[in-house]
A and B are shown apart, each in its own frame.
Chain A
Amino acid sequence: MRAETEADGDIVRAVLAGDRERYAQLVERYRDRYARYAARMLGSRDAAEDAVQDAFVRAYDQLAQCQDPNKFVGWFFLILRNRCFAEQRRNRTKAPLEAADGVAAVDTADDRTETAERRRALQLALLDLTPDQREVFVLKHVEGLSYGEIAERLSTSVPSLKMRMHRAYDKLREQLRDHT
């Protein structure tokens, strides 16, 4: 058995050299890393699962374009991100209520509490943001990244992210006026 600590770059190079089965190691390693991001972006665990699967398949197809194999996971994130944005464009007209139920259903212990109700309301309100606004909110307040880390990951500037986020705060406040 290969060491779990084997570098991503070594695995990517092995796959590119023809050892395709090794790709399963990368999938196993990162299957859950961005699952929460995808679930919050798309509003449903099922949609997140489809998006993550599709992103891994696309990453495999385009593996030779991964310019720095040691940064596979950052490159993979951008593929998943594109997939999530494309999914949102496709489903722009879909009512998000059912989708938000799908995510909120993760909680069972306090389904009937006020906290659960607020949580569900926030998830619904998040789905009402623009994808750009939702993304920065999810990365900062769900994934816990700093503005600097988000800016690096998305190749953008901190002021631009803050502008998006501050608009998101106002919009969420309006959406949640009966819940906070």
Chain B
Amino acid sequence: MSEYDFHPLVKQLLDGDITIADLPAELRAEGEEALRLLAAVDRSPVALPAIPQRVMRALTRPPQRFPRWLLAPALALAAALVLWLGRSHGPMATPGSEAAITVHFVLSAPGARAVSVAGTFNQWDPRASPLVRAGANGMWTATLKLPAGQHQYAFVVDGVRWVPDPAAPAVDDGYGRRNSVLTL
């Protein structure tokens, strides 16, 4: 107990269980002090009109975010592989143009209907770089020519499931997801 503790009856007043008229005369002043405290409570509303825009922007900002419930399903992604096949130069290379490097993307996704790769090299557009099915063993492949430098990417399965490449190093995308990293 400290000298600042309210009397139990005054606490009941603050809780709304009794009124100040229920307090004995000697507790009225303390009761009024307690009610002044409650009168200072700020109940003015707080509006956050920008929230819907902020939230939806955070959810769609590239690389697109996809929740765990889209990543979890029973899709047997056995392994993925990125092979650097070699350096080549575009036939029409002009002075100042960057060297292009041929990169072969491979993903094992036996149950997938469509696979693509999206990354910093194609503005994270899931439709820009489709992989094609290679044989009947569930392998999907694509060959792209990319400029030298560091790229981040992820595979997009069936247009909705964003899957980092388990065979490549990855970094956090700043939104709780992992992007694969390819350095050429």
- The listed residue with most B CB atoms (<10 A of its CB), out of A57, A106, A119, is A57
**B92 near A: Cβ within 8 Å?**
no
Measured CB to CB, the closest approach of chain A to B72, in angstroms, equals 8
Which residues on the B side are within 8 Å of A144 (C-beta)?
43
Q: Which of A26-34, A67-75, A82-90, A91-99 lines the interface with chain B?
A: A26-34
Which residues on the A side are within 8 Å of B50 (C-beta)?
49
Closest A residue to B32 by beta carbon equals A180
Type the 1/0 row for A167-180, where 1 means its CB is closer than 8 Å to any CB of B: 00111111011011
**B46 near A: Cβ within 8 Å?**
yes
Closest A residue to B60 by beta carbon equals A20
Contact A121 B46, CB 8 Å, known A23-B56, A63-B69: no
Other-chain contact of B15, A45, A165, A170, A171 (Cβ < 8 Å): A165
CA distance A180 to B51 in the complex (A): 37
- The listed residue with most B CB atoms (<10 A of its CB), out of A31, A40, A107, A176, is A31
Q: From residue 33 to 59 of chain B, which have CB atoms closer than 8 A to chain A?
A: 33-34, 36-52, 54-56, 58-59
CA distance A58 to B47 in the complex (A): 20
Contact A103 B37, CB 8 Å, known A31-B48, A49-B48, A64-B67: no
Which residues on the A side are within 8 Å of B43 (C-beta)?
36, 142, 144
B contacts with A, residue count (CB < 8 A): 39
Task: Check A53 against B67 for contact (C-beta < 8 Å).
Answer: no
**B65 near A: Cβ within 8 Å?**
yes
Task: Check A180 against B46 for contact (C-beta < 8 Å).
Answer: no
**A35 near B: Cβ within 8 Å?**
yes
Closest B residue to A103 by beta carbon equals B42
Closest A residue to B160 by beta carbon equals A18
Contact A106 B42, CB 8 Å, known A16-B69, A180-B37: yes
Task: Check B68 against A61 for contact (C-beta < 8 Å).
Answer: yes
**A11 near B: Cβ within 8 Å?**
no
Main secondary structure of the interface of A (DSSP, over half): helix
Q: From residue 128 to 145 of chain A, which have CB atoms closer than 8 A to chain B?
A: 141-142, 144
Task: Check B42 against A122 for contact (C-beta < 8 Å).
Answer: yes
Task: Check A52 against B51 for contact (C-beta < 8 Å).
Answer: yes
Task: Check B42 against A40 for contact (C-beta < 8 Å).
Answer: yes
CA distance A56 to B68 in the complex (A): 15
CA distance A165 to B16 in the complex (A): 13
**B2 near A: Cβ within 8 Å?**
yes
Q: B-contacting residues of A (Cβ < 8 Å)?
A: 16, 18, 20-21, 23-24, 27-28, 31-32, 35-36, 38-40, 45, 48-49, 52-53, 56-57, 60-64, 103-104, 106-107, 115, 118-119, 121-123, 141-142, 144, 147, 162, 165-166, 169-174, 176-177, 179-180
Q: A-contacting residues of B (Cβ < 8 Å)?
A: 2, 4-6, 11, 14-15, 33-34, 36-52, 54-56, 58-59, 65, 67-69, 72, 160, 175-176
